[in-house]
Amino acid sequence: GAVVSQHPSWVICKSGTSVKIECRSLDFQATTMFWYRQFPKQSLMLMATSNEGSKATYEQGVEKDKFLINHASLTLSTLTVTSAHPEDSSFYICSAPFVGGISYEQYFGPGTRLTVT
Amino acid sequence: GQNIDQPTEMTATEGAIVQINCTYQTSGFNGLFWYQQHAGEAPTFLSYNVLDGLEEKGRFSSFLSRSKGYSYLLLKELQMKDSASYLCAVRDSHGGYQKVTFGTGTKLQVIP
pLDDT digits 0-9 by tens, A5-45: 999 999 999 999 999 999 999 988 888 999 999 988 888 99
Q: Which range is most confident: A50-59, A62-71, A95-104?
A: A62-71
Average pLDDT over residues B79-101: 87
Asked if residues B70 and B87 have their Cβ atoms less than 8 Å apart, the reply is: no
Inform me whether the C-beta atom of residue B2 falls under 8 Å from chain A C-beta atoms: no
Burial of B68 by CB count in 10 Å (0-12 exposed, 13-18 middle, 19+ buried)?
A: exposed
Contact between B104 and A43 under an 8 Å Cβ cutoff? The reply is yes
* Strand boundaries in B38-78, DSSP class E: 44-49, 53-57, 60-65, 70-75
| Interface contact flag, A43 B42, Cβ < 8 Å | no
What mean pLDDT do residues B46-67 have? Answer: 94
Residue in A7, A34, A44, A102 to test binding to B, most B beta-carbons within 10 Å: A44
pLDDT, tens only, A62-92: 999 999 999 989 999 999 999 999 999 999 9
pLDDT at B95 over 70: no
Amino acid at A111: G
The verdict on a CB contact (< 8 Å) between A104 and B48 is yes
Measured between CA atoms, how close is B7 to chain A, in angstroms? 13
Instruction: Determine contact: B96 vs chain A, CB below 8 A.
Output: no
How confident is the model at residue A31, as a pLDDT? Answer: 87
Distance CA A77, CA A70 (A): 6
Contact A106 B97 (CB under 8 A): no
Mutate to test the interface with A, among B41, B100, B106 (most CBs of A within 10 A): B100
List the single residue in A with minimal CA-CA distance to B88: A43
- Residue B32: the pLDDT is 94
Shortest CA distance from B89: residue in chain A: A44
pLDDT(A103) > 80: no
The whole-number pLDDT of residue B30 equals 87
Give A97's contacts in chain B (Cβ within 8 Å): 98
Answer yes or no: do B102 and A57 touch at CB < 8 A: no
Half-sphere exposure at residue A9, Cβ-oriented, CA atoms within 13 angstroms = 6
